[in-house]
Structure 1
Amino acid sequence: MLSKKFKHKIVSGFISCMLVLTATAANAEKTLTAAVPVPVDTVWGNAFKRYAEIVSEKSEGELRIRVVGPESIPAQEQMQALRIGMIDILSTFPGAYRSEFPEANVQEISNVSVDDQRKNGAYAKLKEVFDNRFDAELLATYAEGLGFHIFLSNEIKDINDLKGLRIRTAVLQQPLLKALKTQPINIPIPEVFTALERNMVDGYSWSSLGLSDMGWDTMTKYRVDPKFYNIIFNVFLSNKAKEKFTNDELKLLREAAVEFEEKINVELLEAERKEYANQDSLGIKSIDLGSELPVLARKVYWDELTRNSKFASELKLLMDIQ
């Protein structure tokens, strides 16, 4: 029969062993924090979650990414959070850091593919800026092929009919809307539905995806085609965060970014196709203004950027096909 003292040693040893195993498991699994500028359960939040899934799969669960949205860190503060290492990864759009990088929107107005930007050196120039200004590595760029539309409450016959219309907009679309002689109106996103409901605006400019997330699809009658500009989301890794990882883990994060970029672009284009079909089913009609609209959109924004920036002029040579 075992003595009480011996039993105590066995129990103590078992507990110690379990603590060691638990600590080992905890050390084996690393959790990264990533931020997105939109609610995590929207189409764009869910898109980035695909990267988290790929990282988890490739690492066999040893690397996990916890995704938070603007309810945790406001969108305009997320780049600073990345810079100081408060978060490890950030997926965001250029407008979120335009105040610190005035030429940021070149990615959205470029008509050169991301692959070609990598080949001609434009992408390397952007990566250098991000590294120097934000202390972050650019891992991936996605949503290529998607764009923006003007959505309206009432029908127009041609591009001249946009003159005078009150259009809710963001900074990116303002040069175009001013060129079209509309009345660009800045309304916070949560207030757009009420503005449409009360006829405070005649329409809004928004991405080709996400209307149903906002509930605006039920208040929209017309979509102006073709789409213009590019929807761009960049994925950044904080340089400070790199200290947490081994070289193999960093390699995995980069390889996962390449795989993510390839897969998510295909998935988002399919989501866009379904979005258009859904808009058709809701009775949202297309008004095709022809190629004049996207050409004008690019021209007016490039003109604005290059007027004030030599760097924008350098990028235009690489990122704008005439």
Structure 2
Amino acid sequence: MKEFLVAAATAVSLGLAGTAQAEEVLRGVAALPANNVITQSFLEYVEMVNEAGEGIVRIEVIGGPEAIPSTQQDTALRNGVVDIQGGPAGYYAGTAPESEALTGATVTAAEARENGAFDLLRGVWRDRLGAELLAWNGNGTQYYIYLRDMPEFDADGNVVLTDKKLRSAGTYRDWFDALGAENVMMSQSEVFSALERGVVDGFGWITFASDIGVNRLLKARVGPAVWQGSPVIMMNGNRYDALPEDAKEVLQDAALALEAKIAEQMPARVAQEEERLKADGIALVEPDPEAAARYKDLAYSVVWDKLEADLPDYAAQIRPLLHPDQ
């Protein structure tokens, strides 16, 4: 009888163990190399999820563009090859052109969530990419033009970029055209050698140019800052929907925590970067206030004019939410 009771207790114990929720394991990929500030932000999100979600949900990062090319990661996510991805939305703007509204935003991630813009964007990600939009982790990062030589200014105080060859990508193409510069399309990994050999005169990049190791080849950063970074973290929609509620809660809570941390730390990080640039002999150049205002207006107009021409109904909805100071 004693042996029967022991056997029965063991069976019950095994049965209960079998009904316990198994930890969900998500395969993640980053759009940019590990040393890039955008990827570091994504990896910070991964750490937050893995710490808070122990026993519930875990993200295993399989690599970056060396594992899956950046421009193919949205397809890999949609097809379930990977579950979660972090990187600039510009890489798949051809599939989700509405995502370019993030670039033209002047609000914070928290404000976008509060005023309904984030929900509109979440719908776009579902419709266009079959993905759940989790976080906007590019918020607060802005864009500049970096040059090998000091810039010139015309009689009206405008920076002269006519015929300057600038390393470009989809995000910058229309803006550089409007400035009269020549777009030279190439990947980030080619920027150093292109500058060194004089193939380009400069490039467009986010606030943290020091992270890509080109400072010794630069003379100037041209401001004022424009736009905001479009990096986001997204997940395969079907995989997300199939998760238990506690796993979803971990992912969403980590997204909010990451956005809040970025907002809190950004001013100090920008100041630190500017000190680093100046220490490396790079001049932080801006035109006078009137010319600076024209420069900013042009940058934002390029984004919003295109969206209003291509997606008028969507632009009418989201522009007042993401760019209210128009």
**TM-score normalised by length of structure 2:** 0.84
Shift, 1:72, TM fit: 0.7
CA distance in 1, matches of 2:240, 2:160: 53
Shift, 1:305, TM fit: 2.2
Shift, 1:206, TM fit: 0.8
Answering whether residue 37 of structure 2 is matched by residue 43 of structure 1, we say yes
Contact 1:146 1:269 in 2 (8 A): no
Q: 1:269 to 1:38 in 2, by over 3 A?
A: farther
SS state at 1:125 partner:
helix
Identity %: 30
Alignment of 1:1-322 (within 5 A): 28-60=22-54, 62-67=56-61, 68-158=63-153, 159-209=158-208, 211-242=209-240, 245-289=243-287, 290-310=292-312, 311-320=314-323, 321-322=325-326
Farther-moved stretch of structure 1 (235-244 vs 174-183): 235-244
Q: What RMSD, in angstroms, separates the aligned Cα atoms of the two structures?
A: 2.5
Letter in structure 2 aligned against 1:111? T
How many residue pairs match? The answer is 302
Shift, 1:122, TM fit: 2.4
Q: Which runs of 5+ in 2 are unaligned?
A: 1-13
Shift, 1:269, TM fit: 4.2
Letter in structure 1 aligned against 2:50? S
CA distance in 2, matches of 1:142, 1:279: 23
CA distance in 1, matches of 2:56, 2:207: 36
Shift, 1:185, TM fit: 1.5
**TM-score normalised by length of structure 1:** 0.85
Letter in structure 1 aligned against 2:43? K
Contact 1:143 1:268 in 2 (8 A): no
CA distance in 1, matches of 2:35, 2:25: 20
Contact 1:39 1:69 in 2 (8 A): yes
CA distance in 1, matches of 2:266, 2:73: 24
- Greater than 6 Å deviation, 4+ residue runs: none
Q: Which runs of 5+ in 1 are unaligned?
A: 1-19
Letter in structure 2 aligned against 1:50? E
